[in-house]
Amino acid sequence: IKERSLNFVEEIIEADLKSGKHNGRLLTRFPPEPNGYLHIGHAKSICLNFGLAQKYGGGTNLRFDDTNPVTEDTEYVDSIKNDLRWLGFNWTNEMYASDYFDQLFKYAKKLITKGLAYVDDSSAEEMATLKGTPNAPGVESPFRNRTVEENLNLFDGMANGDFAEGSRVLRAKIDMTSSNMLMRDPIIYRIKFAEHHRTGDKWCIYPMYDFAHGQSDSIEGITHSICTLEFVSHRELYDWFLEKLEIFPSKQYEFARLNLTYTVMSKRKLLQLVNEGHVTAWDDPRMPTISGMRRRGYTAKSIVDFCDRIGIQKRDNLIDVSLLEFFVREDLNKTSTRVMAVFDPLKVVITNLPDGVVEPCSLENNPEDPESGHRLVNFTKEIYIERGDFMKEPPAKYFRLSPGKMVRLKGAYIIQCDEVIENEGGSIKELRCSYIPSSKSGADESGIKVKGVIQWVSASEGLKSEIRIYDRLFKVEDPSSEEGDFKEYINENSLEIITAYVEPVLKDAKPGDRYQFMRNGYFVPDTDFSPENLVFNKTVGLKEGFKV
Ligand code: ATP
Ligand code: MG
Ligand code: MG
């Protein structure tokens, strides 16, 4: 394997470690807002933050960025922790931005005391108008020059619930002429009479993201705070707060968000898909969520390998989902048990096998894994093969079954098609075949050479199973960049359900087991699976759509 070169964050960290900055200490954080389930974009951020800590002997805090009481919920907190563990990452500390509400309140007062923050009574519209445009400087608010005492009193009043929602805000006093709009006296606290999932009704004022994130980093002693590109313009403000508050100078670095083809990645949009019933839940196997991918049968390893492979960029980009599927297939090929399933059954009667006689055949569980052993599958008088593996009038070089021709049944015997039984109307009802007793796989003394090998399932012992086959959730590569609402581009045929016959061993499938249904793809028991009601999800097909 070729050593890859350092990415830009690694270069920064190596330089910092070399120069002795922070005494060689490295602490990153992963800061999800608990307002939805984690998606594959988060996985990229997780692999980056935890990966850096692992590589350089540091730590990573899991911090719930829970400063917006309205959209957040403990259901999301629990799912995020579960997904992180499943991906294989252990956090150093579990933190909540809401635990810093007292400290942040004091920081706000410190700014007021330093003459760097003021209570503004302007309406949202007035503030927006006075803010100006990127090309025209803003105008200072008439409330900008309140005294420190007056500001402290009003801010306490805000916290006490003396004022109505929207009537007042606390703003940082920076520069209404800055070319960076975020520096034009940003709002740092607003009144919100909302119940918070952790602090209940203790607070009726909540800090804005920009007044919480950098300070939380600083309180925790985060050395490298890595976020996505839309925060580039926030960095100036991030640094300003830490400098004016005279607290630990965490540093923010930005990389490009991950976007994947044929899906959307914003939690707001994913929530719409769930709430409006376009998918069944956050963990619907068509969702780009970690829980959806897990239910679909993707492995943690394949997701981590994918994130490592795509690396990090400074420009936004759209990654082909087939690259992710490539890593899924790579991992599953090594680890899945091979079994036989027939999706579109055609009955075959073995005329020379007496009724009630079974011939146990030994099949390899996984040729990629010598430890995986063998299992016995009974060859019986009636079996199913795929309808597509038989042709009445085959073209030249057709190596599967046709009248008078032979094919090998995987792990069992060579059979010859002696007779085709048709329904009225000409469709094929069943085949009458004879098997060659001396041709058993592994002990073949028949001397007959056949090119085709097909899978089969005993009609008397095989089990009926529901198979859920998924297609892309959207019809276009980048639904978010298309005209109109992204939901106009939903693929209405993204789920196909069929009934298949599968080997009896699949009755004992357990959550997390991975199977290759020979010649059909990779499959995993769904969360709806039970021994009485077999349900499998198709994870990915066998064919490689992408070469690396
Ligand atoms: P969304 O738009 O989905 O709500 P978000 O950035 O608001 O995304 P957070 O829960 O705040 O979601 O994200 C937690 C961390 O994951 C942040 O550091 C964020 O930058 C990162 N992250 C989120 N989405 C992506 C993505 N598509 N690619 C890379 N990192 C991401
Ligand atoms: Mg966020
Ligand atoms: Mg968000």
Which tokens go with 273?
């898909």
Answer yes or no: is 1 within a domain.
no
What whole-number percentage of the chain has pLDDT above 70?
Answer: 99
Which of 403, 428, 455 lies at the terminal end of a domain, its last residue? 455
Count: domains in the chain? 3
Residue 548's pLDDT band, with cuts at 50, 70 and 90, is very low
Neighbouring CB atoms inside 10 A of 207's CB total 26
CB 381 within 8 A of CB 369: no
- Residues 289-338 pLDDT 10s: 999 999 999 999 999 999 999 999 999 889 999 999 999 999 999 999 99
Q: Whose atoms come closest to the Cα of 32: which ligand?
A: 1
Residues 251 and 391 in one domain: no
Could you list the active site residues? 33, 257, 267
CA nearest ligand 1 atom 2, residue? 266
Residue 545's pLDDT band, with cuts at 50, 70 and 90, is low
Q: Is the CB of 42 under 6 A from ligand 1?
A: yes
Q: Whose atoms come closest to the Cα of 266: which ligand?
A: 1
Residue 537 assigned ligand-binding role? no
pLDDT at residue 1 is higher than 70: no
CB 361 within 8 A of CB 375: no
- Span from the CA of 42 to the centroid of ligand 1 (angstroms): 6
CATH number, domain at 287? 1.10.1160.10
Residues 291 and 361 in one domain: no
Report pLDDT for 528: 96
Q: Is the CB of 313 under 6 A from ligand 1?
A: no
CATH number, domain at 61? 3.40.50.620
pLDDT at residue 511 is higher than 90: no
Answer yes or no: is 86 within a domain.
yes
List, as ranges, residues with CB under 5 A of the ion ligand 2: 33
330, 336, 338, 340 alpha-carbon torsion, rounded to 10°: -100
Answer yes or no: is 261 within a domain.
no
Report pLDDT for 73: 83
Give the integer Cα–Cα distance in Å for 179 and 504. Answer: 69
Residues 87 and 159 in one domain: yes
- Residues 88-124 pLDDT 10s: 999 999 999 999 999 999 999 999 999 999 999 999 9
Residue 71's pLDDT band, with cuts at 50, 70 and 90, is confident
Residues 174 and 120 in one domain: yes
Residues 432 and 411 in one domain: yes
- Span from the CA of 276 to the centroid of ligand 1 (angstroms): 22
Q: Is the CB of 244 under 6 A from ligand 1?
A: no
Residues 306 and 360 in one domain: no
- Span from the CA of 32 to the centroid of ligand 1 (angstroms): 7
Residue 34 assigned ligand-binding role? yes
Give the integer Cα–Cα distance in Å for 327 and 301. Answer: 8
Q: Is the CB of 213 under 6 A from ligand 1?
A: no
Give the integer Cα–Cα distance in Å for 548 and 533. Answer: 39
- Residues 258-273 pLDDT 10s: 999 999 999 999 999 9
* Per-position b or e across 246-273, b if 16+ CB within 10 A of its CB: ebeebbbbbbebbbbbbbbbebebbeeb
Across the range 38-57, mean pLDDT stands at 97
Query: Of 222, 270, 269, 210, which Cα lies nearest the Cα of 65?
Result: 210
Residue 438 assigned ligand-binding role? no
Which of 226, 255, 284 lies at the terminal end of a domain, its last residue? 255
Q: What is the mean pLDDT of the chain?
A: 96
pTM over 0.90: yes
Give the integer Cα–Cα distance in Å for 448 and 438. Answer: 10
Answer yes or no: is 52 within a domain.
yes
- Residues 164-216 pLDDT 10s: 999 999 999 999 999 999 999 999 999 999 999 899 999 999 999 999 999 99
CB 63 within 8 A of CB 27: no
Give the integer Cα–Cα distance in Å for 521 and 537. Answer: 10
Q: By residue range, what is the domain housing residue 424?
A: 341-455
Report the 3 state secondary structure along 299-332. CHHHHHHHHHHHCCCCCCEEECHHHHHHHHHHHH
Residue 258 assigned ligand-binding role? yes
Query: Of 471, 467, 472, 462, which Cα lies nearest the Cα of 536?
Result: 467
pLDDT at residue 38 is higher than 50: yes
- Span from the CA of 238 to the centroid of ligand 2 (angstroms): 15
Q: Is the CB of 372 under 6 A from ligand 1?
A: no
Which of 406, 432, 455 lies at the terminal end of a domain, its last residue? 455
Indicate which atom in ligand 1 lies nearest the CA of residue 34.
Answer: 10
Report pLDDT for 5: 87
Residues 287 and 236 in one domain: no
Give the integer Cα–Cα distance in Å for 328 and 492. Answer: 25
